[in-house]
Chains A and B, each alone.
Chain A
Amino acid sequence: MNGNLKQKVSYQLLRLITYGIVISVGYILFDIIRHGLPVINWEFLTAFPRRSGSEGGILPAILGTLYLTIGTIAVALPLGVGCAIYLSEYAEQNRFSELVRLAIITLAGVPSIVYGLFGLGLFVIFCRFGASILAGSLTLACMVLPIIIVASEEALRAVPRGFRESSLALGATKWQTIRTNVLPYSISGMITGSILAIGRAAGETAPILLTVAAFFLPKLPGSIFDQVMALPYHLYILATQHPETEKVLPLQYGTALVLLLLVLGMNIGAIIMRIHFRKKYKW
């Protein structure tokens, strides 16, 4: 076989395998959409589950996931952005900033179930929050913190140095410079990071398993010290613990599709925003 032919065949083989990966992902999405779509209707989205989840809708799980993500982002966003501003604008190359970076890398690699154990030990038991929205949100906030920091720092570093220098040259203080000349141009990157973080927090099961999730609650939570239902946990229970798993298969598909749309929607939104803002700000 001559070299040219060999190369062509090899490239086609590489392409075949790469597209094989893409197709298998596509098939998963297709399967869930195909079986989930017929289940989703107004009642499914706005009704309470009946007969321990065998009938009815998933409203409390949707709201529970919403509450958890709001709580998570309310804690993680200010901390993450603060940390990113420090790393990008203030930090010198010293022990402390190196330690911070090491900590961020470590947090990004901790398995989600370990976050669950940590949340159980610290927030649920030691802080006496019990299994609650508060404990779950704080646990998820620790988990998504690195995502927000990395995205925000990248956005801050993308702002040209001249923006800062011109402001400083006019006599503005460092913080005034950051507030008026750096933050406005990096806010989009921070929003992108937050959307990714929300998507991650909404889809995770293991951390909330031990810190907040309940399978069935007759009413919506009244305060941040109440337990909630959540979409990923609801799917897990319906698929594995429910006495009639075969019978509730359509509801499982429906729940999986709602969760998938929520998480993928967030991620696609973040990708589109990134492209949009890259085009908008060119310097």
Chain B
Amino acid sequence: MRMVLVSCASISIIIVALIFLFLGKEAAPFSLDPGLGSLFDTRWIPVSFQGERFGLYPLVTGSLLVTMLAMLLAIPLSIIGAVYISEVAQSMEREILKPFIELLASIPSVVLGFFGLVVLAPLVKSVFGLNSGLNAVTAALLLALMALPTIITISEDALASVPRSFKQASLALGASELQTIFKVTVPAALPGIIAAIMLGIGRVIGETMAVLMVSGNSAIISFFPLDSVRTMTATIAAEMGEVPFGSQHYQALFWIGMILLLVTFVLNILSRLVLKKYGMAQ
């Protein structure tokens, strides 16, 4: 029986290895022809009669812009949410708020994308007086909503794991509850909160359907929030259905996948290391 269970356990290692292997296998021929250098081009024009361009810059900047905007919103909101749930809320209130935040994490991203398309985008359009509401801001608003549950849940665990004696010492020295929260508890939980933010960034960079539906999808290099942008994930989802199997375009899309995999892998491992080191893992 032991052997059966060991093989079940090895499956997860095997799947991780296969993911790297098969993404690498489909992407690899690209590094010989046309060569990895062409990924550093400034234009992404994968279908063209005059010669395709596979520069990832516009896609990387698109992902970065959307992620940064989303985190700008999500980080303060979710830290406040975590502080409130963990330190201020009554226990009854907490029992209701926590499942509700969990529920937010379970809303399918295509449903959030749909909501963004029919409600949020027209709103952004009229507020800023634009021709179209499909832009980086709209995408970032949805992504912030998706990052919230991840950051809140893990930050809250980190806050809860701060030893009670820290707070008691602070209160005994005459600090108010508010001072204790922001000068003692939050700083003590900071490594956990940073890990939570890294996991949130991983979630946001990898998110596909919602950004595909509301970001507008133009592959331009821009750092202006009201421009339409195209992220790495959305590019794969939008173009993979139409590329000829084995073409350079197909291989370039696998390269994008490989980059996404590596970025999320590193963020994930780093944040787990931090959580483990400070004893804040669930």
A residues neighboring B (CB under 8 Å): 3-4, 6-7, 10-11, 14-15, 17-18, 21-22, 24-25, 28, 31-32, 78-83, 85-87, 90-91, 96-97, 99-100, 102-118, 120-122, 125-126, 142, 145-146, 149, 174-175, 196, 199-200, 202-206, 209-210, 232-233, 235-236, 239-240, 249, 252, 256, 259-260, 263-264, 266-268, 271
Contacts and interface: CB of A to CB of B under 8 A. Distances in A.
Q: Is the interface of B mostly helix, strand, loop or mixed?
A: helix
Nearest to B4: A82
A154 to B, nearest CB: 9
A104 B2 CA distance: 20
B194 interface: no
Given A105-B272, A111-B260, A83 B9 contact: yes
* Chain B interface size range: 35 or more
B245 interface: yes
Nearest to B246: A125
Contact of B80 (A17, A100, A114): A17
B199 to A, nearest CB: 7
A146 B268 CA distance: 14
22 contacts: A18-B81, A21-B81, A28-B112, A78-B8, A100-B13, A103-B12, A103-B13, A106-B269, A110-B206, A110-B265, A111-B206, A111-B208, A112-B109, A114-B23, A114-B261, A117-B236, A117-B253, A118-B22, A121-B23, A239-B113, A252-B114, A263-B108
Contact of A113 (B108, B236, B269): B236
A267 B7 CA distance: 30
Contacts, number: 241
B15 A21 contact: no
Contacts of B108: 202-205, 232, 259-260, 263
Contacts of A149: 12
Contact of B16 (A17, A106, A206, A264): A106
B118 A249 contact: yes
Interface string B81-99: 1011100110000000101
A70 B77 CA distance: 38
Contacts of A105: 268-269, 272
A73 B165 CA distance: 45
B262 to A, nearest CB: 10
Given A79-B11, A240-B117, A205 B209 contact: yes
A22 B97 contact: yes
B260 A203 contact: no
B92 to A, nearest CB: 14
Contacts of A28: 107, 112, 115
Contact of A17 (B81, B109, B177, B205): B81
A17 B15 CA distance: 41
Nearest to B11: A79
A73 to B, nearest CB: 15
A60 to B, nearest CB: 17
Which 6 pairs between the two chains have the least Cβ-Cβ distance? A111-B206, A82-B8, A203-B108, A109-B268, A121-B22, A86-B5
A11 B181 CA distance: 11
Given A24-B145, A111-B260, A239 B114 contact: yes
B178 A6 contact: yes
